[in-house]
Structure 1
């Protein structure tokens, strides 16, 4: 009789029966590993302390809740791992000069540490954005949500015609470079081109900043593709201008921005003079100063509101408005369903008269 080892069915199928993590409330997460990607970029690998699988859509982001020097801080980061590998969650963080959270993470977070993470959030989602010929355009650390999308598609052995154009300052700033080279070598339907904006003697690839002629040279069938783009605002502005020059249909363009200022006209500060905010659960009332946001009003009253980008992008400061009117200048941080349900973003909303919040 051949010797063999048997595994109880209950043990083999246990991971498949784990509950899924898709709740928007903060959950305890255990840092399992810290990976050095480049000289100023690290990937932090998390598993759920409650032993559940991560359920999200490639392209979405999560909110990290931290205590730095005794102060509660929240920041949003795109998930760089794919939902096809649901037992861990990766966020890839670029260290920025003067950045409170990025520097703290790089200097302090280690394997074995536990923090709270909230999510998933965001409408920049692979499965919700149609397109048979996806073109991924990434600038700098904007590669992170697009990497989640690429990993998802290659894990699924997708036969779509995939193309990635990744721009960075120099070769040493290219995140995931070896993995991208390996994926392009393995999947014939994936084309990967890296572009450096600064001249470097060691770099033989294309150089320059994104404009219409460069995009058409790198992607001759540009007008036939559906574009998914992410990067810092300066990159995104040049990219939008370049795509417009090249005649790309804006209906086939989807973006996630990292940073940048609020668009549109400045609010009429005079309209806020007679405005007030009432915090239902806290039992507090605040008379708003001209131009004061709901976030500023909450802080002035000592009411905690989690925040991330503070530009109306990430959705971390989402709160329920029970009554009243606000003027909100968001950059896509809420879905249409959330807006219909009465949610507003505290960072970019200003009371118009008396407003009651569920805080």
Structure 2
């Protein structure tokens, strides 16, 4: 059989296209394995119970729908595997003190378990934000969407000028350390720099917190690059400040912020009676002071997918057909989505009568 011969009646690529994961609604996923990345970080490997292959853009996230202690819980996690490897899907999770979902995953999820996952979601991805000289800035577990991007680019043997500067608490907290070293050694167009807040006797890399002078020292052509940044909010504030001080054009800056340290906001209490009407289900809820649209939906049994519940990820985006809300989001909606009437259920409170497309 020569290279141009195929089996009669079998088109591999057509079959692959037919089996691709394309629906963002919750689907059953099987845990196929666990990988210890660091002392407090694990990667969970999933495949679709239906046998479908995964189709997404590098940098996007998925939402895990779990039941913990009898309560429904949802959390967003960036995909760390690349779309160039469509047979499985990886999420990489850091155990956080007091973290309900991260601790449950570390302590309970095992090979063979089935959970519901929805996605892919998110506009932070290389497909929609292309560039010839990307600079990836990651802090802590913020490396996960950037790793999906790097893996995708190196899988394709991209000739782009790639640069990663990754900040970790200490050398033992560097996620994907051996793989990053291997990629940098293999691809001459990729430069990887890890910066640790605190080093140790064996650490020869840079230490300290990144500021504008350090960034310029590590990336002399900073002004020519398009930045993709992800990490905890404290790290992101430092990056925005450092890049602004270094004179980076804001139009060349894209970010995905993880929760933690963001603080909350005071509930806005309406001075008028507020009611939420759900157009498709026919349900109605009279809101108590401070209740969000998400609270209202849950109390009448209307399902709204959620992720961060801080107004960041955009998972709970819903269409408002009429009425006014007070929304305190942290970037979960684009200006175009806001103009089209979308609101975030987790951080919006009705101001009078509101009609939702649910």
TM-score (norm 1): 0.91
Q: What is the CA–CA distance in structure 2 between the aligned matches of 1:349 and 1:230, rounded to whole Å?
A: 25
Q: Which residue of 2 aligns with 1:356?
A: 355
- Alignment: residue pair count: 354
Contact 2:311 2:328 in 1 (8 A): yes
The Cα shift of 1:276 comes to 1.4
Do the aligned residues in 1 keep the contact of 2:47 with 2:88 (CA within 8 Å)? yes
For residue 123 of structure 1, what is the aligned residue in structure 2? 123
- Cα distance in structure 1, aligned partners of 2:236 and 2:308: 16
Aligned to 2:141: 141
CA distance in 2, matches of 1:265, 1:42: 32
Residue 107 of structure 1: how far off its partner (Å): 0.8
Give ranges in structure 1 of 5+ residues lacking alignment.
Answer: none
Matched, 1:327 2:326: yes
Mean Cα deviation higher: 10-19 or 231-240: 10-19
> Per the alignment, in what secondary structure is the counterpart of residue 128 of structure 1?
coil
Cα distance in structure 2, aligned partners of 1:164 and 1:186: 15
**Is the contact made by 2:232 and 2:261 (CA closer than 8 Å) also made in structure 1?**
no
3-state SS of paired residue (2:351):
strand
* 1:154 counterpart SS class: helix
Q: Note closer, same or farther for the CA distance 1:146–1:306 as it changes in structure 2 (3 Å cut).
A: same
Q: Once structures 1 and 2 are overlaid, which stretch shifts more, 204-213 or 310-319?
A: 310-319
SS of the residue corresponding to residue 58 of structure 1 reads coil
Shift in Å, 1:293? 1.6
Aligned partner of residue 127 in structure 2, secondary structure? helix
Take 1:207 and 1:36, find their aligned partners in 2: how far apart are those partners? Answer: 25
Structure 1 residues 254 and 342: CA distance shift in structure 2, 3 A: same
The 5 Å alignment of 1:135-214 reads: 135-214=135-214
Against the structure 1 CA distance between its residues 316 and 272, is the aligned structure 2 distance closer, same or farther, given a 3 Å change threshold? farther
Structure 1 residues 304 and 8 mapped into 2: Cα distance closer, same or farther (>3 Å)?
A: same
C-alpha separation in 1, matches of 2:298 and 2:54: 32
Whole-Å separation in 2 of the counterparts to 1:289 and 1:262: 25
**For residues 114 and 90 of structure 1, what CA distance do their matches in structure 2 show?**
14
CA spacing shift, 1:356–1:246, aligned 2, 3 Å:
same
Offset, 1:245 = 1.4
Q: Which residue of 1 aligns with 2:314?
A: 315
Q: Map of 1:327-346 to 2, 5 A cutoff?
A: 327-335=326-334, 338-339=337-338, 342-346=341-345
Q: Which runs of 5+ in 2 are unaligned?
A: none
Is the contact between residue 124 and residue 254 of structure 1 (CA under 8 Å) also seen in structure 2? yes
- Range with greater deviation from structure 2 (284-293 or 342-351): 284-293
Distance 2:263 2:252 in 1: 21
CA deviations on 1:286-341 (whole Å, 9 max, x unpaired) are 22233332122334445443322111112222233333222323233234565455
- Deviation of 1:144 (Å): 0.1
Residue 221 (structure 1) shift: 0.9
Residue 243 of structure 1 corresponds to: 243
Residue 260 of structure 1, CA deviation: 4.6
Task: Give the match for residue 19 of structure 1.
Answer: 19
Inter-partner Cα distance in structure 1 for 2:17 and 2:56: 17
- CA shift, 1:38, in A, is 0.6
- Deviation, structure 1 residue 147: 0.2
Cα deviation 1:22-45 (Å, max 9, x = unaligned): 211001111111111111111111
Deviations 1:125-182 (A, max 9, x none): 1111132111000000000000000001111111111000000000110000000000
Deviation, structure 1 residue 8: 4.4
- Provide the C-alpha distance between the structure 2 equivalents of 1:11 and 1:96, rounded to a whole number of angstroms: 48
SS in 2 for 1:126: coil
